[in-house]
Amino acid sequence: MPFCQVSSSQNGPDDDDAAAAAAAGDNGIKIFYRTYGQGPIKVLMIIGLAGTHTSWEPQIRALAGTLTPNDEESLAGDRRPDGDNESLGIEVCAFDNRGMGSSSVPTKNSAYTTTLMAGDAIAIMDHLGWKKAHVFGHSMGGMIACKMAAMVPSRVSSLALLNVTGGGYECIPKLDRQTLSIAIRFLRAKTPQQRAAVDLDTHYSKEYLEEYVGTQTRRAILYQEYVKGISSTGMQTNYGFEGQINACWTHKVTLAEFEAIRAAGFLVSVIHGRHDVIAQLCHAKRIAVKLYPSARMVELHGGHLVSHERTEEVNKALLELIKESEEKLSPYDWTNLPMKIPGWKFTCLKFGSINSEGGTGLSFMVDLVGKLHASSLYLFGLFVLAFEGLSLFMPPCNVVLHCDLEVDYESERKAHIVYSALAVDKELQPDKVKREMSISNGKLSVHFEAIEARFLRASFSAFVDVLTLATKTIEEFDQGMEL
């Protein structure tokens, strides 16, 4: 079986991490890996929490043209792709992260950080003799891939981040009845059957699981596959699970690291499922914005394991990333982010409350370019969480919540067009939410008032969705007219 031996000296340039790794006893770490296919183009795949290298199989088949792994004896031989797949000239490597599958399981949480695990990935590239590779990561694997790209940007041909967040508090899923139920079931799962049942609800959208394939639902079919897979690899140990959770919770990419990735000039794809209950879409959008102009945002109709639920679309996106990277496409021609199109700025967002006598409360001021949708919802979410938390300790009072949004289009014409488009979108609950719009000097101002946080949250979220769509449509129309 192919293993890569990792020592603390291979874990990157950070002396503190190397010292922590040595103290945690990781000098004997072995990382299990597999390679597939042959060709000059190299792809390194990094899986997420509690996953093994086999989770990448739908992508391995599409990229390498085979699911039959290479071994030391056959590397120099004439290998043929399975079935009707044609060789794409790509060699893929996928591996089990430390703490899972056939790789070593350190017993101390300090042996699990995304920096150390990025060092594992770099060590595998060294072991294989790869100078550069297209690096793809899913979920926690995306965090590791991002950290790796910042550590050794010259060795990254392109970067794909699937269903990723920025780590830390961003690992906290959307708090609702569904996710709380999943969390409780996950912690109680002690058998492959119990774990398989909860994994399905974690990985896929409800719509996808309820679809029929012949006489059975996808849920029934996938359940049997998951039980078989978990039984063959074994349940993740507590050491591995807690360690990988620690890696996610302590993960952070600094502004300097984002700048190092951008400065390297390679293309980036941020791919995410709209119905991901684990990694919220808004966090992925924030990462894409921070990587502008190198990043392209790809939203798909799927859950956390969008690489399985929307295999064809994900594979197409990855192949396009490889192709355009190999052809040296400019990042400005690659990105699809709004900042690519000058002409509108998100300049001011305020939240607060008004009592029966008037007056304002909490206020946030931001000056951003293009981060309309992601940042609006993110700051709004913080406000609502804070207010709802405080409301538990405050006596009932006659309070009206309010929110003010201002978007600078730097054009009176564009502002009026957007205003007209949004005026058609009537408030769904006018008795509970009041919305007023006005235009001045090319700026669209919107004021919201509601008697309860939940109504304000729903109205604001829906409005920002429509606002973003209207703005994007108008910008694309203007671009077409210029051509």
Q: Which residue has the higher pLDDT, 73 or 424?
A: 424
Multiple choice CATH, 341-482, 3.30.70.1710, 3.50.50.60, 3.30.310.50, 3.40.50.300: 3.30.310.50
**What are the extents of the domains in the chain?**
3-172+242-334, 341-482
Taking CA atoms, 166 is separated from 55, 96, 183, 323, 405, in Å, by 22, 21, 20, 27, 26
Give the whole-number percent of the chain exceeding pLDDT 90.
Answer: 54
DSSP per-residue string spanning 341-379 = S-S-EEEEEEEEEEETTB---------BSS-HHHHHHHH
Q: Which residue has the higher pLDDT, 412 or 252?
A: 252
Rounded Cα distance between 227 and 218, Å, is 14
Rounded Cα distance between 468 and 452, Å, is 25
Rounded Cα distance between 93 and 53, Å, is 9
Band of pLDDT at residue 27, cut at 50, 70 and 90: low
According to the model, what pLDDT value does residue 365 have? Answer: 30
The residue-averaged pLDDT of 218-224 equals: 96
DSSP per-residue string spanning 205-229 = -HHHHH-EETTEEHHHHHHHHHHHH
The residue-averaged pLDDT of 165-170 equals: 91
Identify the weakest region by mean pLDDT among 219-233, 346-360, 420-434: 346-360
According to the model, what pLDDT value does residue 357 have? Answer: 38
According to the model, what pLDDT value does residue 369 have? Answer: 32
What would the pLDDT profile of 174-200 be if each residue is shown by its tens digit?
767 777 787 778 778 889 999 999 999
What would the pLDDT profile of 430-467 be if each residue is shown by its tens digit?
777 888 888 888 888 888 888 777 777 777 767 776 77
Q: What is the largest CA-CA distance in the chain?
A: 82
Identify the weakest region by mean pLDDT among 58-72, 209-223, 427-441: 427-441
Is the pLDDT reported for residue 211 higher than 90?
A: yes
Q: Which residue has the tokens 């957007």?
A: 418
What would the pLDDT profile of 329-342 be if each residue is shown by its tens digit?
999 999 999 754 33
The CATH code for residues 3-172+242-334 is 3.40.50.1820
Burial group, residue 95, by CB count within 10 angstroms (0-12, 13-18, 19+):
buried
Is the pLDDT reported for residue 5 higher than 90?
A: yes
Take residue 297 and report the two structure tokens written for it.
Answer: 């945002």
Band of pLDDT at residue 313, cut at 50, 70 and 90: very high
Q: pTM here? A: 0.68
Question: What's the start-to-end Cα distance of the chain, in Å?
Answer: 57
Is the pLDDT reported for residue 401 higher than 70?
A: yes
Closest listed residue to residue 284, CA positions, set 199, 163, 200, 167 = 163
According to the model, what pLDDT value does residue 26 have? Answer: 53
What would the pLDDT profile of 263-298 be if each residue is shown by its tens digit?
999 999 999 999 999 999 999 999 999 999 999 999
Is the pLDDT reported for residue 378 higher than 70?
A: no
What would the pLDDT profile of 346-364 be if each residue is shown by its tens digit?
333 444 444 433 333 333 3
Taking CA atoms, 31 is separated from 22, 42, 203, 239, 427, in Å, by 16, 19, 25, 16, 55
Take residue 399 and report the two structure tokens written for it.
Answer: 């309070």
Rounded Cα distance between 265 and 325, Å, is 10
**Strand pairing report for 267-273 and 345-355:** unpaired
Give the whole-number percent of the chain exceeding pLDDT 70.
Answer: 75
Taking CA atoms, 171 is separated from 167, 243, 269, in Å, by 5, 15, 20
Q: Which residue has the higher pLDDT, 326 or 465?
A: 326
Report for 5-9, 238-242, 399-403, 416-420: range of highest mean pLDDT: 238-242
